[in-house]
Structure 1
Amino acid sequence: MPAKSTKQTHPHGINDLCAEGSRLYASALGSGRISRAEVEPAPCLLEFALLHPDPDDPDWLRPVPPSVVLAQQLQPLEREIQDRRRLTLDLTDTFQPFLAISAQKPATTHAITVLEGIGRINAALDVAIAEARDEVLTVQPGGSRPEHILSQALERSKPLIERGISVRTLYQHTVRHSQSTFAYVDQMAGAKVEIRTLEELIERLIICDRTVAFIPAQDDRQVALELRHPGLVQYLIKVFEQLWQRATPLMDEVPYESTPDGITGVQRSIAKLLVEGHVDEAIARRLGMNVRTCRAHIAKLALVLGSGSRAQLGYFIAESGILKQEKPAK
């Protein structure tokens, strides 16, 4: 029990002694000893073995010389440094023959690299972003992001902002209801960062300097593809540019045109996906909203069109002609 209390009241390391501990240790060194009662406010002195019991009087403690403490603390660190140095030499010896072979011809750049696991995906992204010099394009489907995800995005974007690199990002309209998204944008103010939104987006896409692109290879996003084939990358850039031209700047109002019956553009998109046979969860995922919101829109469609059941709704949508109405060009 005392040990547990010590950790709670002095959660610091020996390299960061508390003010009380430093004062009492200095006092003990000056006088040669100190009473147990006096060191009660700083149990870290005993935890770090800076004091030891006085052999002549159990109520007193004697200070361990700082040179001894320092040697005891440095010894495992020096041993670890030596082990690391040996590992460095071993790794160099292991790979030296392969380096010699590789040096005989230019390094091969793989057109497609499979990245398995979030750790490896993020590591490859970090390298590509660190090497970016001109522009980064990103497509981020889905609804509003949790604050910790936006914080990670901000940390990843900071080096780009500092280097004056242009960043263009596409989100879905649903992020417009997220205060955290606008807080993220405020922190980007003044940088070469542009954000636009669309009702529906393709899967996630990141392109750096028009030379490397990243796309997911599985729905769970545990596997990604790193693409460096010029043809593939250029094709994805064209896809991005088409989406970008159709998108609305985040700070502009989205022209949510409605039919005479009050069916909005979002509800018309839902109607189209319903007719195509998508279930509620898939529709919500495609449009970047939660399932409850999606079902509320479906209920509004059913009410406006006079459908009494889900089976009838598809027929009523087709008969209503709402999917044939053209959106006005921007």
Structure 2
Amino acid sequence: MSPVPGDGGEAVAPLLPDGQARELYLTLLAQSGLFRIEDVSPDQLLAFEQLLAAGLAVREHNDMCWLVNPRTVATRLSAELRTVGLELFARAQEPSAALADLAQAYDSASRPSIAPNVVQRLDEPEHVQQRVDQLALACEREILSMQPGGARPAEFLPYLGPAVRDWRERGIALRTIYQPGARSDPGTAAYAAYATGLGARIRVLEEDFRRVLVFDRTTAVVAAHNDDLGASFIEDPVLVELVVAGFERDWVRAEPVRWEPPADAAGPLPALLVQGLTQRAIATRLGLSERTVAAQIAALREKYDAETLFQLGWLMHADSQSPSRD
């Protein structure tokens, strides 16, 4: 266990004993647990210091030592860690408040484009994501996207619902092209049903294509040729127009889809939710990974605006009894 850092990075909770310290504890315990410091051999001193630091051993001024009940130590350490956790939780909002004035200045400042280069290549995924997030926040009218690979990554799905809701509330038009595999993935299909219910338009194209994003027809983001880790950000109007023209051609050829979660994957889910089962138990029942079930439930909670899993189950059950949405 690592120490919990304080303001200066110091440990505010002692380390738990390592293997050698635990072995020494058991050895001393077998010898009644009451001993003198000279009973500890030189090669055991570091382990003994760990027992002292953790509170598992106590040393008096006369060099008499005894062992402490581990349950007592565990209770104390747990209380210390809970206190540290509450303090960190209380400080979680501090960064936003501390940087609010800088964020406001950033929003109001006039910034030049990434000139002199009208095409900028970023290779680190975190840098790509940061730049895409900035473009999404600044977008005012339209987002076009082409997302190959079928199912969207499960770790992204919980964030897509709130994002598309925010874009639509801001009046941004959304058009997306998927590959056919998206239709059979429960999480992706549930998200697409939710997004199209808000007015987004999502079609399927049975062809190979590269990942593309276009914001307000002024900036295009094109995935790297060999992988999707890097991307090129294009601001040249002529090049952006070429990317948009390619999207429009693919959009015409793509198939319109009536998006609904696949019945075979979602069928037993309402009943399991109403039973009050956890995500882990549901994943076991359905033979799916917990991560997949979590992503599917997150998307469905966004779609049905459900606050609890129990409520989600009843809403899904009621929806299945009514005519399908157009």
Which TM class, normalised by the smaller chain length?
0.3 to 0.5
With the length of structure 2 as denominator, give the TM-score of the two structures: 0.46
